[in-house]
Structure 1
């Protein structure tokens, strides 16, 4: 009578322990404790790997923001995909006014990152680069090779308002809001227009 009773008790505990029927059979046969089934964690608001090939949707909280340093004569600009007022910043793109030379940069990424791929629409570009240590050990800094301001990828990025980045086999979609799309267009214009020291 003990064995059927044990089976009934074991089955009644399935919903609580998160175990399968096979776990109970194994427990009865080998007198072992059933292993709970892992539960799926809730999705976060972080940019997530993409499994689509079309236009991505904006990630809540993230957008493209443009900053221009007016204190320096060459007016360097930074276009950052980020959550405002935080260090969550998967990618920045930099240039000096009118230089038509853009650079993709990542802070706090893998220390051995030596290349990444950027895509927008039907344009794709693999960029080599170098990761160097900084004064903060946890924040190595990657800088890509130069991207020409008139490169098809840059034109597509300005027109589409989004980039898809792949680094170390992790793909992240970075889509702009309406405001972010204007920041992208203004950044490209700033980088590619003829430079004037008088603005």
Structure 2
């Protein structure tokens, strides 16, 4: 039979960009059109949520943490892809990822990242350009929607707005080679930000 296509899209961006809320809306939208949509939850929050505090890790531990995050992502992504491949002929399937492999490179130095890539057998192309059909970069609210950022930051975020903008730029730089990278800024309100994300994915899946 015809080899089925499983679309894989990564959502990325700096802190407080609305990724998690967008993911729910994107999944709902495509499920409403009859797609089977799986959401690969953010691996960093799973790994770090187990009690990892970056402030007191040595460099070898940082390597192990980033390696764990990347391995966890790869496992989740390939598990959902396998479930998609096993679904009935003619079913349209999509895996939406809360961050992708390249995001982990933002949180460690280059030498550490090279070791991580070597350990999992990936290079830049297989971790970025070839791995995802599309990448949506949602810009942090700290860049263009500061009042919203400051509101959210009071109870969840440790980064200052400057740090958030810095992480956003580093994230953009990590993904910039991807042929289907779409930048979604804060020029509209949040609902329209989500609509633009959905429209970008419609473009990716044709």
What TM-score does the superposition give when structure 1 sets the normalisation length? 0.24
Larger RCO (alpha carbons 8 Å, 6+ apart): 2
The structure with the largest strand share of the pair is 1
The structure with the largest helix share of the pair is 2
What TM-score does the superposition give when structure 2 sets the normalisation length? 0.23
